[in-house]
Amino acid sequence: MNNYSKATYTWPKVLQAFVLTTATLFISAAPAYADETCQSPYMAKIVGQEDFVYVWTLGMQGVGDEQDKLVTVDVNPKSAKYGKVINSLSVGGRNEAHHSGFTDDRKYLWAGGLDTNKIFIFDVHTDPAKPKLHQVITDFVSKSGGVVGPHTTYALPGRMLITGLSNNKDHGGRTALVEYSNSGKYITTHWTPTDSDLRGAVKTGKYADGYGYDVRVLPRRNAMISSSFTGWNNYMMDFGKMLADPEAMKQFGSTVVQWDLHARQPRKIFDVPGAPLEIRCAWDPNHNYCFTTTALTSKIWLIYEDKQGEWQAKEVADIGDPSKIPLPVDISIQSDDNMLWVNTFMDGKTRGFDISDPFNPKQVLEQKIGSQVNMVSSSWDGKRLYYTSSLLANWDKKGVDNEQYLKLYSWDGKKLTEQFTIDFVKEKLGRAHQMRFGAYSLYATKPVAQTVDLLTSLNP
């Protein structure tokens, strides 16, 4: 008994030192993420405060050099240039600049042009404050076998997955997903299933339209989810003219597809009427679901895996008054999976939905951001929301309502408070479309964690 007592007295000192040392190393190494939430899970993440926001910007006729450009904004509150444009890199002409995405190592940013089908690859690691144009892919259509409109550029391990919006045969919505290596070499094309070519997928409803828009993955469930929009004929048409054209209004996607991620094989096709756009998936390892919203019917849809391991699609909430077509555009899910931010282009509002119960989203906030609003990016810690204004060159509002901006708001869990606004027309930059975060911390050498002095820990 006494020997046991002595052992229990001595060993906790050693164990205490071990645990303390291990804990210190863990805490020192544990990342404090401040990244944008709507990124690939394969991608390196920002540690600490983001330093920059890169805005993929569409040139405007009569504004500045009229060219598409990557605009770099300093967003570190400790910087003397906080809230200011610090760099602008024009790429030549107007390509209908739209979406962009990083490679998995975060060293390069791929940005597409929906009209010219060019993909611009920027080096953002050599000097994160001043990105350089590294490469331009000009043969996307021919290499892919006729895919038009490179949209989402999404990181997979060593590869970029690119969604198309259209094709070069009829410029309609039939399209595909295209894979490239990180070095910019074409790998393969995966056509979205249609009624005439289901490609082994099961059609669960009426539609198999073959349309495309966004893509997201849940690697732990071997699931890839894609959505659908419309073709070149529509997205390059004047918005008012399109709304007045009954035939054009029929040419919008109505499907979400569940794919086998690793095989790139479509498995199920779900009816999601009204042009489901952005896909945003939960981050918690026990949350097997994603959200999308429908532009024309103003609904939130849940794409989820049921208890039997089968994927399903369910309409779970309205966004504003659907009869007024507020036109939901971008959405952003917070990293704790408790809030979904939804922007509506027509009324210029952002809405916050409590999604702690994903089957019953509840709106908890509604706030006007501008005369028009498109993209929203939530920081990983949930404290900052960035907004931009432009949807498409021919869809943006006219006259005084054609506001073009980047805005930052802080979020304290109850209210949004504006921190700064950059007027992209006043700065002669153009139409501010999509944002991506940048930081020095991604590429700087990280300090070695300071270890605990074991001998000090062992002192009685």
The end-to-end CA distance of the chain, in Å, is: 22
Q: Where are the domains of the chain?
A: 37-458
Q: How far apart are CA 70 and CA 53, in angstroms?
A: 10
pLDDT for res 30:
52
Q: How far apart are CA 388 and CA 255, in angstroms?
A: 27
3 state DSSP class of 367? strand
The amino acid occupying position 308 is Q
Residue 249 has pLDDT above 80, yes or no: yes
pLDDT tens for residues 146-186? 999 999 999 999 999 999 999 999 999 999 999 999 999 99
Strand residues in 307-415 grouped as ranges (E): 311-318, 328-333, 339-344, 349-354, 362-368, 376-378, 384-388, 405-411
* Averaged pLDDT of the chain: 91
Banded model confidence at residue 256, pLDDT cuts 50, 70, 90: very high
pLDDT for res 444:
65
Domain covering 37-458 in this structure, CATH number? 2.130.10.10
pLDDT for res 18:
39
Q: How far is CA 428 from CA 65, 67, 164, in A?
A: 8, 10, 30
pLDDT for res 124:
98
Tokens of 16: 């205490």
Residue 6 has pLDDT above 50, yes or no: no
Strand duo 97-102 + 84-90: pairing: unpaired
The amino acid occupying position 31 is P
Higher pLDDT, 124 or 4: 124
pLDDT for res 47:
83
pLDDT for res 443:
87
pLDDT for res 262:
97
pLDDT for res 68:
98
Nearest in space to 82 (alpha carbons), one of 403, 420, 429: 420
DSSP-derived letter for residue 243 is H
pLDDT tens for residues 379-388? 999 999 999 9
Mean pLDDT of all residues in 395-402: 98
Question: HSE (CB half, 13 Å, CA atoms) of 33?
Answer: 16
pLDDT tens for residues 309-358? 999 999 999 999 999 999 999 999 999 999 999 999 999 999 999 999 99
Banded model confidence at residue 31, pLDDT cuts 50, 70, 90: low
Q: How far apart are CA 383 and CA 422, in angstroms?
A: 19
Whether the CB-CB separation of 229 and 275 falls below 8 Å is answered with yes
